[in-house]
Structure 1
Amino acid sequence: MRQLFDGLKDRAGNLAPGQLYPDQFGAIVRHGSEALELVKARWGMPSPPGVLNTQRDPGVTNVRNLTSPHWRRWLDKTHRCLVPVTSFAEPVKGGNQWFGLTEPDVRMFFAGIEVRGWKSVRKVKDGETTDDLFAFLTCSPNAEVRSIHPKAMPVILTKPDEWETWLSAPIEVAAKLQRPLPDGTLHRLSGPV
């Protein structure tokens, strides 16, 4: 990460390799007070209040409708982040179908949003916690993902200028990145990379 982003402050500590699932802590690149920083945050942004039936908020893992008043408050550049990934999965009967880039040396990030110090009850047994939270954007799927998940895929950014645009451009410009990767850019994997 330090080689990809000049001046990146590593505040995540040792990051263990492995799979990340909703409500777990994963790495994100976000704006710090002086420079970009790599931190751990909990996967799942606050749910819209109208969908909650109890005090427990399991969080929303991905965001599609950028015009929703609930999400608009977190679309300015101070709340945008990048989620580093090497592969991702879509659920299928009996498990997951994994996807990765066809170009193995290309780095990919999900376009994400984040909020810091959010108080909520994620698990009743833990009671109220204060967490830094994130979710990533989705869009229409490309051909490879559509064959498994016809509704959506993560917004994947693979070029340094896309990373910079997502992190720093006005939302009217950055929102144009909410589009699928070109067909043929991804392929199925037998497991996570």
Structure 2
Amino acid sequence: MTRLYRLDAPAADIAACFGAEAGKDPWTGGYAAPGRPAPIVSRDAKFRMRRVGPMFWGVPPPPRGTDPITSVRNLGSPFWIGTLRHSEFRCLIPATSFALWSGPEGARRQHWFAVADRPIFAMAGIIRFADEIPTFAMLTTDPNRLVAHHHSGAMPLILPAEAHERWLNAEWKDARELVVPFPAQAMTVSEVPPAMTNGS
């Protein structure tokens, strides 16, 4: 499970990539971490368009919980199913890379994963509100071969470009079929984020 990703693109470029309206999103690029705002692409049903806007990473926990929840793994859980069944609460989480760690405590190594032919890709997410403040969590799935080589836990659910509209609009029975590992051969891994490698 990742708790850190990068989105090295300004809001205007993100909006152009996903056919969305950027509005006044001030994002200029950088890290996304739990408890901090990051750009999310959501569907505005009223105006039949997509919008890019900042939301906080980490949805309110269940009544007995204490910490915000950053990822969704058990799709059949009563805590999640009501949100997942309503497409208006699904979103795209734009990213340029995400981090996972490997190795024993004291000797852990960070690995950055990206999609080879897409500088900006989308992870599947859901939206919830905390005292009227919009928050999000990302869906995860089993690791593919590349991720599993470095990290045994879950990986973010990366959506193929042709599946974006389906995730945002389809009935849950249809959208759930998208919950599969992204092809390992279409991904890259490095010890630093691609933006750093490219000198950004």
TM norm. shorter chain > 0.5: yes
Q: Which aligned pairs between 1:47-126 and structure 2 lie closer than 5 A?
A: 47-50=61-64, 52=65, 57-75=66-84, 76-92=86-102, 93-94=107-108, 96-103=110-117, 105=118, 107-116=120-129, 118-119=130-131
Who is 2:41 aligned against? 29
What TM-score results when the alignment is normalised by the length of structure 2?
0.80
Following superposition, the deviation at residue 80 of structure 1 comes to 0.2
TM-score calculated relative to the size of structure 1: 0.82
CA distance in 1 between counterparts of 2:171 and 2:17 reads 22
3-state SS, counterpart of residue 49 of structure 1: coil
What CA distance in whole angstroms lies between the structure 2 residues aligned with 1:147 and 1:23? Answer: 29
Structure 1 Cα separation of the partners of residues 150 and 99 of structure 2 = 10
CA RMSD of aligned residues (A): 1.8
Of 4, 12, 28 in structure 2, the residue corresponding to residue 16 of structure 1 is 28
CA–CA separation in structure 2 for the residues paired with 1:97 and 1:61 = 19
| SS of residue in 2 equivalent to 1:84 | strand
The number of aligned residues is 174
- Cα deviation, 1:45-78, whole Å, max 9, x if unaligned, reads 122224x2xxxx4211110111111001211101
Q: Which structure is higher in helix share? A: 2
Q: Quote the Cα distance in structure 2 between the aligned partners of 1:45 and 1:96.
A: 25
Q: Distance in 1 between matches of 2:125 and 2:179?
A: 11
Q: In the alignment, what sits opposite 2:6?
A: none
Alpha-carbon displacement from aligned partner over 1:142-185 (angstroms, at most 9, x marks no partner) = 011112221210000131x2000100000111011111011222
Q: Could you tell me how far 1:108 is from its partner in structure 2?
A: 1.2
Q: Which runs of 5+ in 1 are unaligned?
A: 120-129
Structure 1 residue matching 2:59: 3-state secondary structure: coil
Which runs of at least 4 in structure 1 moved beyond 6 Å after TM superposition? none
Sequence identity (%): 31
Deviation at 1:102, TM superposition (A): 2.4
Structure 2 residues without counterparts, runs of 5 or longer = 1-13, 196-200
Structure 1 pair 68/12, CA: closer, same or farther in 2 (3 Å)? Answer: farther
Partners of 2:169 and 2:192 in 1: CA distance: 34
Name the amino acid aligned to 1:175.
R
1:46 aligns to what SS in structure 2? coil
Q: Which amino acid aligns with 2:83?
A: W
* Partner AA of 2:92 in structure 1: L
Among residues 115, 134, 154, which one is paired with 1:132 in the alignment? Answer: 134
* CA distance in structure 2 between the partners assigned to 1:46 and 1:185 by the alignment: 34
